[in-house]
Every structure is written in C-alpha cells, then in structure tokens.
C-alpha cells in the first residue's frame, strides 16, 4: 500500500525495528533474505509483495496470530487506512473494514462496566440536591436555568453520563467523572459565580477583578489557577469576592 502523501509505503514493521522484523518474518515464512523489503525488489519479476493478497469474505476473516502468515496479515491490515482498529474509529467515513479483537473487546466491556459503576456512585451524589445538580452541569459547560425543575436537570445530566462513546475527544461519562473527582471543583465554581456576578470581568486582555482592575489571567483556566495559589494575599482577595457574591 502506497501513501501518496508521504510518498512511501505503509509499513507492517515497527518503526526503528524494520530490518530486524523483516528478517524475522523472512525466516518464519521461509523466504530468501531481502524478499520482504518494501522497496528493494524487481517489479518486473514475481515477488512476495506483488503476489501477496488479502481476501476478506462477507463473513469476515479470522486470523491466527500464532502463525507467521496470520501475524503478518494482521500487521498489514492494522496499517491500512481503510481498516478500523476499534469500534470508535470504525465510524470514520474512510473506514471500510474493522479488526475485531476478542480479548480487547472483553477488556473494553470490563473497563466500561467499572466506569459505569463509578459514575452511578457519583450520579447519586450529584443528584442529591438541585444545587449540586446545577453546579455539576455548570462544570460540564452547561448553562442550566435555576428555575428548571430538579427532574429536568437530572435529565440533562443523564444525557451526558449516558454518552459512553468518545465525541470530540472525551466521552460524556468520562467528563462527568473528571468533574466529580476534580480537586479544584470549588475554586472553579467560585470563579464562575464571580464572573456571573461581574466581580470578575473580562476585557480584550483577559480577566480581572472588577473593583481594583487587577489582572488575573488570559482565560478561565488561568483565573482558576490564580485562585488556587495559597498565597495569603490571593486568598484574601478570594475571601473579599466571596463575601460580595454570597
């Protein structure tokens, strides 16, 4: 398989170990030295790669990775841009086939089960009160209306925790667990409250304390980091703002 972008072949051999692995497969497949070299062969004569074909029937192809041929076939398929290595990548429009690894699937199911178990514990904690629900949703980048019913807020949270597949980098259930385990949770909520009540304001340069015009950071993350500082002066500034937004 030739990669037109890099003008090179997709290699089934590990980068940095190409020669070593090529020689190992040549020995296991009882081929002459240099037979599996991707670049050093005569295209006008019969050659290993020119004759090597992988046929995938409708019912799929089962590979025995304990055999040299099965192991090499797996390696070739794993670097083919049309082959997905897991369920998530199989959703890409360029993917035509998917490699199904039974052991990996079992591990995925086990990992998801443990993740859901942890999430259920945190859901019980997050749904205890309407206040905790609103706080959790805000930390999940939602803007819940305080006038909404507790049932509606719970529904919004479940939409996130039910999302177990990765979308735009992180699955909803993972984001939820991260929020519930975040040691900076209270500081982040404090900053959000201060921004909402205009005690912390934003201009072209970033965020600053409104009444003293003190610069805090270029973005929300930097403001949170500022108030995580244990410096007495910083904590005094935080207390003054907290008193105002109670």
Q: Kindly report, residue by residue over 186-224, the tens digit of the pLDDT.
A: 999 999 999 999 999 999 999 999 999 999 999 999 999
- Reduced to 3 states, what is the DSSP secondary structure of residue 35? coil
Q: What is the mean pLDDT of residues 50-75?
A: 85
Write the pLDDT tens digit of every residue in 130-178. Answer: 999 999 999 999 999 999 999 999 999 999 998 876 655 678 899 999 9
Q: What is the mean pLDDT of residues 91-106?
A: 75
- Reduced to 3 states, what is the DSSP secondary structure of residue 52? coil
Extents of the domains making up the chain: 2-100, 110-180, 185-245
The CA-atom distances, in angstroms, between 230 and each of 48, 191, 226, 239 are 66, 16, 9, 12
pTM comes to 0.62
Q: Where are the alpha helices (DSSP H) in 143-245?
A: 150-161, 172-180, 185-196, 220-228, 232-245
Exposure class string for 198-231: b at 16+ Cβ within 10 A, else e:
ebbeeeeeebbbbeeeeebbeebeebbebbeeee
Residue entry with tokens 């040299």: 68
Residues 212/222, Cβ–Cβ less than 8 Å? no
Cα dihedral sign, 162-167-173-176: negative
Task: Please tell me which residue, 9 or 218, carries the higher pLDDT value.
Answer: 218
CATH architecture entry for 185-245: 2-Layer Sandwich (3.30)
User: Which of 76-80, 115-119, 161-165 holds the top average pLDDT?
Assistant: 115-119
Residues 200/210, Cβ–Cβ less than 8 Å? yes
How many CA atoms lie within 13 Å of 242's alpha carbon, on the beta-carbon side? Answer: 12
């Amino acid at each position: 398989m030739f990669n037109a972008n890099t003008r090179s072949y997709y290699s089934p051999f590990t980068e940095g170990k190409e020669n070593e692995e090529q020689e190992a497969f040549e020995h296991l497949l009882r081929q002459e030295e240099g037979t599996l070299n991707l670049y050093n062969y005569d295209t006008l004569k019969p050659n290993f790669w020119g004759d090597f074909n992988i046929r995938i029937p409708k019912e799929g192809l089962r590979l025995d990775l304990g055999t040299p041929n099965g192991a090499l076939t797996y390696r070739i398929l794993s670097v083919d841009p049309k082959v997905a290595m897991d369920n998530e990548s199989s959703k890409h429009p360029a993917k035509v086939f998917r490699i199904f690894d039974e052991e990996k699937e079992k591990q995925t199911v086990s990992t998801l089960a443990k993740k859901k178990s942890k999430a259920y514990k945190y859901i019980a904690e997050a749904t205890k009160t309407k206040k905790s629900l609103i706080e959790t949703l805000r930390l999940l980048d939602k803007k819940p209306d305080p006038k909404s019913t507790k049932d509606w807020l719970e529904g919004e949270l479940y939409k996130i925790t039910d999302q177990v597949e990765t979308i735009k980098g992180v699955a909803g259930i993972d984001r939820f667990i991260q929020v519930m385990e975040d040691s900076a949770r209270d500081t982040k909520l404090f900053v959000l409250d201060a921004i909402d009540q205009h005690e912390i304001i934003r201009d072209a340069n970033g965020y600053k304390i409104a009444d003293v015009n003190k610069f805090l950071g270029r973005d929300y993350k930097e403001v949170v980091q500022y108030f995580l500082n244990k410096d007495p002066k910083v904590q005094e500034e935080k207390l003054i703002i907290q008193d105002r937004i109670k």
